[in-house]
């Protein structure tokens, strides 16, 4: 998965302790997220919501569906197409008015 902007350079400057840039255990990530979420009193936020928010922001910034899939790790572009294109129906109207 590509790192955007300066994030790759920052990651490369860090001491390398593994063959992965971000070694992790998926259970630890989920547990840590839930612990922080609960401590903040947030009840209606899932870890997956962060992925969706990130993808939405990339679409807002003008990234193509293929580029967003590279960042989010979606293997099936149809999932991105079905879910995220619903976010910006006004773009179709704007495009029609311009052309």
* Residues 10, 74, 82, 42, CA torsion sign: negative
> Per-residue confidence at 28, pLDDT binned at 50, 70, 90?
confident
Predicted confidence (pLDDT) per residue in 46-91, tens digit = 988 888 888 888 888 888 888 989 888 888 888 888 777 666 666 6
Asked if the model's pLDDT at residue 15 lies above 70, the reply is yes
Asked if the model's pLDDT at residue 36 lies above 80, the reply is yes
- Predicted local distance difference test score (pLDDT) of residue 37: 95
Q: How far is Cα 70 from Cα 65, in angstroms, rounded to an integer?
A: 9
Cα angle at 50 between 33 and 7, to 5 degrees? 95
Q: How far is CA 83 from CA 52, 78, 93, 99, in A?
A: 9, 8, 19, 26
Cα Dmax for the chain: 54
């Amino acid at each position: 998965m590509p790192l955007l902007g300066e994030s790759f350079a920052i990651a490369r400057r860090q001491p390398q302790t593994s063959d992965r840039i971000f070694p992790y255990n998926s259970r630890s990530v989920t547990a840590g997220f839930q612990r922080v979420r609960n401590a903040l009193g947030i009840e209606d936020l899932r870890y997956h919501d962060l992925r969706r928010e990130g993808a939405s922001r990339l679409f807002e910034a003008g990234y193509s569906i293929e580029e967003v899939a590279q960042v989010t790790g979606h293997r099936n572009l149809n999932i991105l197409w079905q879910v995220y294109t619903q976010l910006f129906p006004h773009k179709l109207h704007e495009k029609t008015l311009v052309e």
